[in-house]
Amino acid sequence: MLKVLITFLLALSFLACTKKDKQSGSNEYGLKNSETLRIVVDREPPSLDWSIATDTESALITNNLMEGLVAYNLKDPELSLQPALALKWTSSENAKKWTFKLRRGVKWSDGVEFTAQQIVDSWVRLLSPLTASEYAYFLFGIKNAKEFNKGTIKDSKQLGIKVSPQGDIQVELESSMSYFPYLLTHSSTFPIRLDLIKKHGVNKWTEAGNHVGLGPFNLKVWEHDKVIILERNERYYGEKAKVKNVLGYIVGEKSTALNLFDNGQVDAVKDLPKSELRFLAKKKEFIKESMLGIFYLGFNVKKAPFDNVLVRKAFIHAIDRNEIVKVLGAGEVPLKGWVPQGMFGHNNNVGLAFDVAKAKKYLNEAGFTDLTKFPKIEIGFNTNENHQRVIENVQAQLKRNLGISVDLKNEEWKVYLNTLKSNAPHMFRMGWVADYPDPDNFLNLMTSYSDNNHTGWGDTQYDHYIEEAVSVADKSVRKLIYQKAQKILLEKGASVFPTYSMVQTHMVSQRVKNFPVNAVYQFLFKDVELEKAK
């Protein structure tokens, strides 16, 4: 009898652990919940090496561990720049030469002084063909950078990057580039410590314990595929972070993440699953914000039948973007052009619209008169329930509108990226979120030399327009050039199918103040404050 009673009481006491206890007590890692912001990291970051990482989760962590020369003023809706490691910057010769005056006396989290050479090291490493970084094109504006990346120039001294006798960074560009400082908000341009990479090795220097940063937080724990813990960096030069720890649970399944949220075990869940939006949007913790990102489908133009531009056009004409947006239901905006809504250069008058009759006509012209005999094609996507929903809808639309059945293939993110690089499927899903708020960031993706262009498509005229546009200071002129470039990409080449402009939706606990949501998708946690549980 006593046994039964004890069991019963134990069970009761477990039930009695309410949300409030979980906000005030401490968690399994011994961190006090009252001073720990607990978030969900959507997948294991492929790499915390900021010269190499390309995905949002790696960026989320790195942006809190590191800082660059300049930073966004996130309080400004137009996202102006504010000083970070550089105190001020000036340009000369029509924005062709730039000088960045560095902050003095800044120390890395291991006490080593921050120097201009570390910036140079990072940029040379980013551009080096040995690093093979997908973001190398980021600095292609710098003099001789493209040649250095190709390997035709071997000596990094010939790059347009110099340290002045006063210890400032001097950059010489190939041509004028008025938005150059914006590039330096991006993690791939952050200073780097070659001595640490040498000491720990290329794969190990980003592990907890080895990792050293300049940002408001330090990497305390990284249990792979499980958890990442950041701890306030007391050596940070600026205003110290308000929360002591950031605890990131690596949870791929959104419903699991939301259960953790409902239980009060995490404070924020990013990017809500679309299937639950209609339900979650009614809650007081729901947050919605537009973002500079696009979702698109790419065609592998090296693979039949998509080596034929008519077939590509036909497929684009056969898919109704409005239907996809309806399926998602979070207020996404159908996108015909290549530049997301909310950015200059956004234009929904270029590109190919939904038109089944035209689609059938093009397929006929391409020689596919009997669509039941259309070759087997495969659409690839990375495992994610939101993507799956879109791709399943595309599959249904192609079946309904053209009578063509397609196979779907999903892969885990890291594997998927490798597949895209080595042997992209006939059609594949991809997305892009702005690294810097300029159309160049989006149009650059599809240049023939971009490592993020998995379509195999290239057009010299297009490349030319993109290069021309960055040297023009006048926004209205640039807009015209970008319009012409988009016409080539979307109407002549038809190698991509821009689908929609993204929105972001999050659940954030009421105890979190100043949770960072912004159009550039930078989650900087240093200003976050936690209210005491009442």
Rounded-to-integer distance, Cα 372 and Cα 20, Å: 60
Tell me which of 34, 383, 452, 483 binds another protein, using CB under 8 A: 383
- Give the residue with the Cβ less far from another protein, 243 or 406: 406
Q: List, as one string, the DSSP characters of 511-524.
A: TEES----TT----
Taking contact as CB under 8 A, which single stretch among the options 137-145, 207-215, 335-343, 407-415 is the one that binds another protein?
407-415
The residue written with tokens 């209210």 in the block is 531
No. of helices (H) and no. of strands (E), the chain? 17, 19
Closest contact distance (angstroms) between CB of 333 and another protein is 17
Encoded tokens for 211: 């990792």
> CA 205, 64, 263, 251: dihedral to nearest 10 degrees?
-40
- CB contact set of 329 (below 8 Å; sequence gap of 6+): 274, 277, 278
- Give the residue with the Cβ less far from another protein, 285 or 323: 323
Closest contact distance (angstroms) between CB of 409 and another protein is 8
Under the criterion CB under 8 A, does residue 419 sit at the interface with another protein?
A: no
Closest contact distance (angstroms) between CB of 372 and another protein is 12
Closest contact distance (angstroms) between CB of 221 and another protein is 29
Under the criterion CB under 8 A, does residue 385 sit at the interface with another protein?
A: yes
For 248, how many CA atoms within 13 A lie in the half-sphere containing its CB?
28
Under the criterion CB under 8 A, does residue 224 sit at the interface with another protein?
A: no
Encoded tokens for 417: 């990226």
Tell me which of 202, 396, 415, 477 binds another protein, using CB under 8 A: 396
> CA 480, 485, 490, 493: dihedral to nearest 10 degrees?
150
Identity (one letter) of the amino acid at 105? Answer: G
Rounded-to-integer distance, Cα 531 and Cα 511, Å: 5
Closest contact distance (angstroms) between CB of 296 and another protein is 20
Which x/- pattern, by CB under 8 A, does the window 247-286 give for another protein?
Answer: ------xxx--xx--x----------xxxx-xxx------
- Give the residue with the Cβ less far from another protein, 243 or 318: 318
Local structure of residue 418 (DSSP, 8 states): H
Burial status of residue 91 (CB atoms within 10 A of its CB: 0-12, 13-18, 19 or more): middle
- Give the residue with the Cβ less far from another protein, 412 or 491: 412
Closest contact distance (angstroms) between CB of 396 and another protein is 5
Note whether 66 and 187 are within 8 A (CB): yes
Closest contact distance (angstroms) between CB of 458 and another protein is 31
- CB contact set of 21 (below 8 Å; sequence gap of 6+): none
Under the criterion CB under 8 A, does residue 393 sit at the interface with another protein?
A: yes
Which residues, 296 to 335, sit near another protein by CB under 8 A?
323, 326-327, 329
- Give the residue with the Cβ less far from another protein, 423 or 461: 423
> Looking at the DSSP assignment, which residues form a beta bridge with residue 472?
none
Closest contact distance (angstroms) between CB of 474 and another protein is 43
Contact residues toward another protein (CB under 8 A) are 253-255, 258-259, 262, 273-276, 278-280, 323, 326-327, 329, 376, 383, 385, 388-389, 392-393, 395-396, 399-400, 405, 407-408, 410
